[in-house]
A and B are shown apart, each in its own frame.
Chain A
């Protein structure tokens, strides 16, 4: 039987020491009428060889695509050393570092991670991570409502924030009577339209950078606008972009108050959506309002430096119903990957990935909009994503591209009905010129076929 070491002799001897007649007798306190039968719905056991063959077959069936999808999850090169170290048993199979003396590896790494994230975001303190970017934003909203002195339970949420993030925030905060007020975007530039805002009181303004459309928001203005009205400014950012872009702690006159985002671009594979990790950094004054684990440096009995979980009085295992959050874990293993990834890339390596991604998306955009029937939608600067409009139904275009092994981007119509003919495209540093040309050629072929000879002929759907 897999993973159970007992021999028959062990079982006999152990039962005797226990004073039980059989394994079944160990369950004699469970009411007999509750006992379940065989788990018929669970397939029979497979050997390691058989399960490997099954899984490899399924993975091969899914195959590989040339992907221009972004929309919150990004393909980046991860140095081989990252996951070889992450999957060392001493990191992979360690428990949460409650026993600090037996967990100095994980704890020191988390302290280094906190240092890196604080510096990257330009803020004072960082926690040891949250579940993902969306749940981190939800926690930031809760934190801002707790911290804001106005007592307001409203938070301003621009439509340019990732739609899924908005959905997660809504699901998380609605039971606490917190209201999210939508802020529209300027249809010309694709950035938050402050002029459209009523001067409503709110606890906080959420500021995405880059926003969901890839566009760069006027963050200095937005941050100052929020502070002038007594609101907290919550930044939600792509951490990779911060190697190039102004850190949120320096936005406007005072800098944002809380910064969150998804750490996936820092060494975490796409993996169909997870596990990723959420990060949160903040001004020093807000540290006691932060959710999640925080590591601090201290000394041991002999005065040697060491690391330990700190400010635990905020947390559920101490404060119970009065805790800042119910969160118990962080995403430790992903943070391990991100820390090693950032250490390997360094400030220059990270900035070069950001620059190359920006340049590739710019190049892709130039190639695509050179085609008849393809238009750029928003003017203004962007990071590594942009929106194009196609004069052919988006679903058909994407399906035809898929048949050629290309994932052409994210169809925006589901989240933004006014952008039903639009696609969000992304080209990171992993793309080479040939990949961009191939996308352009296939798109050209699909569009000309559709609009050229016979509109009743569907675009090629063979791979």
Chain B
């Protein structure tokens, strides 16, 4: 039942009583609305009950394990939310003067400084509002750098074939063309292909390390040299930063610009698809181009850096400087972890991933890169199962839902057939991992014994498999009255 179907004309939950003076106005009739919008007319209890019930149709970290590769679905500490929602912080207007928000700004400044330290970059701006937004800022800075040097013939961004889809999409948004390069059999960037691809047309390379294949790029120094010698800059996609927190820093790996996903590594909530936060860090030579605003400190006073402070900035990413509430949650998390705690994040995320990989391998699953050490994630390929039973990675994933586990990432990266990309994160216990292995084994048995049942999964959720083709072909994007 939709909220609109709860409507009883004339029923209201929250409606101000207006005075006569407030009701009267002299706005010109041709500027006014004639028909009221289609909004529910329901009681507060109707609304609370409706959305509480809807919430119960969701999987979430608070209720289920999400071994979702490349997404770092770790526990979102409650205290981060509580403190970010202190009433003074919620009430503060974005254009209020800096002297009314020193307590708020010092938190952001501390986070900015911590992110510099953690990534080994020279400067950080937290203006971008999501990972892809940070990517945009990063590639725009690469372009601004080349343009400022009059080196504008560089029009190409190199992207490995295992990269997130946002990488090539971002390069296009920045007016660049994209050249994909292959991955070798060990999951590394194909160095010969890279050498053959770079040249005076190369603006930069975008790389995730550990890669989306769940392995650390061992030749990272050689890759940097190839790109830099060709005059290009290197971009670090921080999607997998959780794997190396406190162990190795993108700045030390030689990257010129990076983005971080605070909703992954710093445990801010995914919120059913956002908000995220995608701060960017840069090496010294890209500092002048950082997006604004970021926080400046001057003799213990904090303020925003604006246009006048940074005339060569790539500009603004949002009306008011970014997803502040997300940044505050990340600040709480970072202060609770401390430097040592961050190192332990990487250690235990990696331990959990390697443990899960080892147990699944023992249970008869094929790892895509069995001879490599898993980082914080790894890939299982179900190609043999598909060939023998017809059960696909998609079917397998849907059946896991019936056992109360969110599906791993499926069909990404695309170069591994029938793949499940699995990332347990550091906040899951050994018992949870063992229960997940047991469910994987059970579904494997079912796939062999009752493949049709698995292909029809899920069977126990609020709905069964949905018809995506119909959704796209017979577009129904809004409810219509009657």
Contact = CB atoms under 8 A, between A and B. Distances in A.
B81 interface: yes
B368 to A, nearest CB: 16
Contacts of B338: 42-46
Contact of A301 (B33, B355, B465): B465
A2 B336 contact: yes
Given A2-B341, A308-B471, A321-B178, A59 B94 contact: no
Contact of B102 (A62, A115, A168): A62
B269 interface: yes
Contacts, number: 672
Contacts of B253: 34
Nearest to B474: A298
Contacts of B31: 216, 219, 245-246, 381
Nearest to B373: A29
A31 B252 CA distance: 11
A116 B166 CA distance: 29
A338 to B, nearest CB: 11
Nearest to B405: A102
A381 B130 contact: no
Q: Give the interface centre of B28, B39, B52, B249 by most chain A CB atoms within 10 Å.
A: B39
B438 to A, nearest CB: 15
Interface stretch (B69-77, B384-392, B442-450): B69-77
Contact of B350 (A27, A42, A56, A328): A27
A412 to B, nearest CB: 11
A93 B270 contact: yes
A119 B38 contact: yes
Contact of A91 (B58, B88, B95, B244): B58
B168 A321 contact: yes
A171 B144 CA distance: 11
A295 B466 CA distance: 13
A28 B248 CA distance: 12
B96 A168 contact: no
A95 B68 contact: yes
Interface in B170-222: 170-175, 177-178, 215-216, 218, 220-221
10 contacts: A56-B86, A94-B272, A102-B59, A105-B56, A176-B175, A245-B27, A273-B320, A274-B94, A275-B323, A346-B40
Contacts of B421: none
B13 A95 contact: no
Contact of B478 (A125, A246, A332): A125
Contacts of B350: 23, 26-27
Q: Give the interface centre of A48, A90, A133, A332 by most chain B CB atoms within 10 Å.
A: A90
A97 interface: yes
Contacts of A60: 88, 103
B120 interface: yes
Contact of B25 (A57, A274, A355): A355
A73 B317 CA distance: 16
Contact of A271 (B15, B89, B247): B89
Contacts of B44: 79, 81, 344
B273 interface: yes
B104 A62 contact: yes
Given A94-B61, A325-B169, 17 more contacts: A3-B77, A26-B354, A34-B253, A40-B339, A45-B337, A45-B341, A59-B88, A60-B103, A96-B272, A99-B406, A101-B401, A242-B33, A311-B475, A317-B164, A332-B274, A360-B22, A363-B21
Nearest to B468: A308
Contacts of A253: none
A112 B2 contact: yes
Contacts of A275: 129, 274-275, 323-326
A432 to B, nearest CB: 11
B170 A326 contact: yes
Nearest to B62: A89
Contacts of B13: 79, 343-346, 349
Nearest to B409: A98
Contacts of A228: none
B270 A95 contact: yes
B151 interface: no
Contact of A306 (B16, B130, B244, B466): B466
Interface string B257-277: 000000000010111111110
A460 interface: no
B299 interface: no
A319 B414 CA distance: 13
A242 B36 CA distance: 9
Nearest to B101: A62
B12 A348 contact: yes
Given A69-B95, A106-B273, A58 B463 contact: no
Contacts of B359: 17
Contact of B94 (A19, A272, A301): A272
Contacts of B462: 101, 104, 306
B83 A296 contact: no
B339 A329 contact: no
A283 interface: no
Contacts of B343: 38-39
Contacts of A31: 218, 220-221
A355 B18 contact: yes
Contact of B42 (A247, A326, A346): A346
B318 interface: yes
Given A51-B79, A102-B59, A352-B15, A18 B135 contact: no
Contacts of B23: 355
Contacts of A448: none
Given A85-B55, A175-B175, A319-B169, A270 B2 contact: no
A131 B318 contact: yes
B334 interface: yes
A211 interface: no
A47 B337 CA distance: 9
A96 B143 CA distance: 31
B135 to A, nearest CB: 7
A317 B165 contact: yes
B320 A296 contact: no
A87 B81 contact: yes
Contact of B74 (A3, A322, A344): A3
B15 A100 contact: no
Given A99-B406, A306-B466, A75 B93 contact: yes
A157 interface: no
Contacts of A407: 93, 96-97, 100
Interface stretch (A5-13, A182-190, A386-394): A5-13
Contacts of B103: 57-62
Contact of B55 (A65, A91, A132, A242): A91
B169 A316 contact: yes
A395 to B, nearest CB: 10
Interface string B137-180: 00010010000000000000000000011101111111101100
